[in-house]
Structure 1
Amino acid sequence: MRRRAQERGRRSDRFKAQEISVKIGVPLVGEISGTWRPDDVERQAAWELYVELTTRISVVELGEDEGLLREALSSFYTMFATTREILRRYGPAVAPQVAPGQVTFGVPAVNVLNLSIRPLLSRWHPLLTAHEGKRPGGLDPVAHERQWDRAVELRAEIESVRRVLLSLSSALREVAGVADLITVRVPPQVAPIGRPAP
């Protein structure tokens, strides 16, 4: 048992990034970029935030007639508490002072919140709340939201922020040295012995 764990540990060490280039474009702002030389504490923090991102609707493309705008905004909002908790748990070790041109876990994590998610929420949360307050009795919330004349505009901005989060998640995945958990890969069907595959 111990030998298997040691072998897994050696295997995972091969995939740990020693240095990565981070480049996360933020619409209307520019980009968060630099060289990241993660240590084990940052790798663990990167893994935790990566798990949070991969399991939220905020990184899944929202089709024209799919999901609710309110759910998407709520998912973005919860990223603040999640990121704060990770930063508190790991402390200053994930945001040390570094030379110009270098980044640490704290730089992309906090800047994506403040430069991408916060502007989206501060603009659209009150507008969507005002629209929701005008829902006539008897009309379900989904139908009311889809009738909103600004829904298409909000969906476009949600998509823009989603792309920023995908860039962040890609950097976190590389730092953590783990598989891509966002891109869905359907394994090929294996036919039982003696039967052709469908």
Structure 2
Amino acid sequence: MGLRQRLGRRRGTGGFTPQEITVKFSIPFVGEIGGVWEPVDSEREAAWELYVELATRISVVELGNDEGLLREALSSLYTVFGTTREILRRYGPAVAPRVAPGKVTFGVLAVNVLNLSIRPLLSKWHPLLTAHEATRGDHIDPVAHERRWTRAAELRADIESVRQVLLSLAQALNEVAGVGDLITVRIPQQTAADTP
């Protein structure tokens, strides 16, 4: 994803909110989407809300080969639909105004990521995973059963592709909201020598 921003006004917290940013990211099998985003206050607020949702979900955390359940990852991605719809309804047309060609809005970016990235993943994999889950016997561990699935690696790869799109969206939302990084920042661990 490429981001270029022109700084705007100072936020009360000491940071700057961009007057505009250039957003561009790739969606597998679709191509690049993006444009110049000149966010208004309601878009900044909506960006913060969706950023918090993405930063606190499984959907933006890398799913290692022996980590987590594929079902949980798909369920987490599914909840992004409801959350995004709720944010779009709450802020209304102000986050999706008509704009000139080459410009984007919160609404355009959010809906395109839902419809072009998350929806195809869920439409393909939800029924396939459900069919596999139906073959599990009563006394078989669900985690072991899922990991033995011959298509598990393929689904993990597709989830990773969507995760990259969501990370790109989250980065744009973070820039527009003018806040610190909540996804990749790690708090340093204190050692016994650091404590008084």
TM-score, scaled to structure 1: 0.90
Aligned amino acid, residue 188 of structure 2:
P
In the alignment, structure 2 segments of 5+ residues that lack a partner are 1-9
For residues 74 and 13 of structure 2, the distance between their equivalents in structure 1, rounded to whole angstroms, comes to: 39
Equivalent pair of 2:11/2:17 in contact (CA under 8 Å):
no
Judge conservation of contact 2:27–2:117 (CA < 8 Å) in 1: yes
1:32-89 C-alpha deviation (Å, 9 max, x unpaired): 1100011111000000000000000000000000000000000000111100000000
The match for 1:142 is 143
Alignment correspondent of 2:4: none
Shift of 1:192: 4.0
Gaps of at least 5 residues in structure 1 are 1-7, 194-198
- AA at the equivalent of 2:166: L
Which structure shows the higher strand fraction?
Answer: 2
1:1-198 paired onto structure 2 within 5 Å: 9-12=11-14, 14-187=15-188, 189=190, 191-192=194-195
Write the letter of the residue equivalent to 1:150: R
- Larger deviation: 135-144 or 125-134? 135-144
Q: Identify the structure with bigger relative contact order (alpha carbons < 8 Å, sequence gap 6+).
A: 1
Q: Cα distance 1:9–1:99, how it changes in 2: closer, same or farther (>3 A)?
A: closer
Aligned with 1:10: secondary structure?
Answer: coil
CA distance in structure 1 between the partners assigned to 2:187 and 2:174 by the alignment: 20
What secondary structure sits across from 2:35 in the alignment?
A: strand
1:18 aligned counterpart, secondary structure:
strand
Amino acid at match of 2:64: G
Alpha-carbon deviation of 1:184?
A: 3.2
Q: Partner of 2:5 in structure 1?
A: none
